[in-house]
Copies of this chain bind each other. A is one copy, B any other.
Amino acid sequence: MDFNELVKSLQEFVGVSRKNSIEKVTKTLGEVYNISGEVLLDFGDDASAIDIGNNKVILLAADGIWGQLMSVNPYWAGYCSVLVNVNDIAAMGGKPIAMVNTMSILDDEIYDDLLQGIVDGCKKFNVPMVGGHLHPDSEFNSLDVAIVGIAHKDSLITSAGANVGDKVLVAIDTDGRQHPQFALNWDTTYEKDEKLVQDQIKVMQEIAEAHLPTAGKDISNPGTLGTLEMLLEASGVGACVNLESIPRNPDVPWDEWLRAYPGAAFVLTAKEENCQEIIDKLSSYSFDVAVVGDIIKEKKLYLEYGDEKAVLFSQNKNPILKMNE
């Protein structure tokens, strides 16, 4: 493996997904983000948290499914629309409650598959799809899903809680397969028993309620280290990570592994004394968990490999979210 090539590949992968448009949205909508005075977190978390009193918060998130995924494999698009939303709630230490969707349908032939994928996703995660809106005579195919969850206010896992001196942990279910049509889709749920899949969501609530992590995020489109960088930016810290400590399925090369969207995977930070308990709890549910590095003050994400060391992201030079500019 050429370490420098890997670093370049990861930088460019996340760089491509950076969109200036997102800045415009967050800037404009930021004006009304907390207009009611009940919103707890800032933009940039996996879900928003709204205080409803009695130490309870409502979590709310939305995800759109990539149009091309719908065309190539509508069943898998429907299934993944559930998975990505459930993981957003799990990452916050919350219980997923229900989803709604909006569908625009151009090709009637993809319709049955799309719906069946949604149904099978709901069954796998035991979260209902309770309604939505249909544009039946659309000129395009699109599927957007929103999810609501519930959590305890005092035990929320957020992106912004990492502190200098904390350890960085990566938890990935390494028992899976690259999806035959989408190599970057590390599927760990489809062929797995639904009880175990649901327990992987529940154990996140358990470590949250035991106040074990200081921060956390589910590994999504930006891959393992891109997701970590987003967490670092939200927390206003940096990290130094050892590449070879990151749990990996040895059948998948590093470059694909680190860019993959896994079915069940989280980056977490925690005080050193809590790491073993996190590892023990998550390991019981098919997660491969390891301490992979340290949180540092300098706002850079360093990646180490043997004697080599590179700056993967620098919040002054190539941040992902640009939230600190």
Contact = CB atoms under 8 A, between A and B. Distances in A.
B98 A60 contact: yes
Interface string A263-286: 000000000000000000000000
Contacts of A134: 19, 21-22, 25, 64
Contact of A142 (B47, B63, B142): B142
B32 A128 contact: yes
A56 B115 CA distance: 30
A130 B48 contact: yes
B119 A64 contact: no
Interface in A13-60: 19, 21-22, 24-25, 28-29, 31-36, 38-39, 43, 47-48, 50, 52, 54, 56, 58, 60
B111 A24 contact: yes
A163 interface: no
A60 B28 contact: no
Specify how many copies of this chain sit in the oligomer: 2
Contacts of A127: 35-36
Interface stretch (A99-107, A243-251, A297-305): A99-107
Given A21-B111, A130-B33, A130-B39, A58 B148 contact: yes
A267 to B, nearest CB: 20
A81 to B, nearest CB: 11
Given A48-B98, A146-B146, 18 more contacts: A22-B136, A24-B115, A25-B115, A28-B115, A29-B115, A29-B118, A29-B119, A29-B129, A32-B118, A34-B128, A38-B128, A39-B130, A43-B131, A60-B99, A60-B100, A63-B133, A100-B146, A140-B140
